[in-house]
Structure 1
């Protein structure tokens, strides 16, 4: 288990779960102060699923079919807890956390490919 793959999984899972949460009216209203616009819910959900499935693919490619899904479920659990805590206590911070998780995922992907 390499720390770079764990960082990649956590950041992609966090991004995916946060995008899925933002596709719901309640959470979108908490973060942005308005309901989800009509054409934005589906792209947010699709982006969330793509990020989560990308995290699963990265875990299985690096760690194999035996340990990859286990690492992915752990990352999914940790990221879900982080999204829930941010939405519960500081919902406005979710906007910035999503934008911070994308460069972190890209950086950890680049570093894991080099090593």
Structure 2
């Protein structure tokens, strides 16, 4: 396990959890000051679950089946804490932080997945 692999998994799971949080009306209202449109709920949920699945795949690809799931659970914990902190203190920043995490994850992917 490298630091780049952990960062990659953390960034992907952060974006996934942020999308799942924004699919809920309460958190969407806090971030955007409007109710979540019904047609956006499904796309946010799909993006969230895909982000978590990509995070799992990155952890397995970087660390293998022996330590990959352990790394993934750790990154889920850390990213969930970040999402909760953003929702509690700066809900309007959550969308921008989640979108900024995606290019950072793309930059970390070659470092994490090349051995």
Q: Per the shorter chain, which TM-score range?
A: over 0.9
Structure 2 residue 95 is matched with structure 1 residue 92:
no
Any stretches of 5+ residues in structure 2 without a counterpart?
Answer: none
For residue 112 of structure 1, report the CA deviation from its aligned partner. Answer: 2.8
Whether contact under 8 Å (2:86, 2:94) holds in the other structure is yes
Name segments (4+ residues, structure 1) moved above 3 Å.
none
RMSD of the TM alignment (CA)?
Answer: 1.0
Question: Given the two structures, how large is their TM-score scaled by the length of structure 2?
Answer: 0.95
Whether contact under 8 Å (2:14, 2:101) holds in the other structure is yes
List per-residue Cα deviations over 1:43-101 (Å, max 9, x = no partner).
Answer: 10000000101110111112111100000000000000000011001111102101111
1: CA distance, partners of 2:71 / 2:80: 14
For residue 27 of structure 1, report the CA deviation from its aligned partner. Answer: 0.3
Any stretches of 5+ residues in structure 1 without a counterpart?
Answer: none
Question: Given the two structures, how large is their TM-score scaled by the length of structure 1?
Answer: 0.95
SS at match of 2:14: helix
User: Does the C-alpha gap of structure 1 residues 11 and 67 become closer, same or farther in structure 2, counting only changes over 3 Å?
Assistant: same
Counterpart in the other structure of 2:82: 82
Counting matched residue pairs gives 115
User: Does the C-alpha gap of structure 1 residues 107 and 10 become closer, same or farther in structure 2, counting only changes over 3 Å?
Assistant: same
List per-residue Cα deviations over 1:18-46 (Å, max 9, x = no partner).
Answer: 00000000000000110111200001000
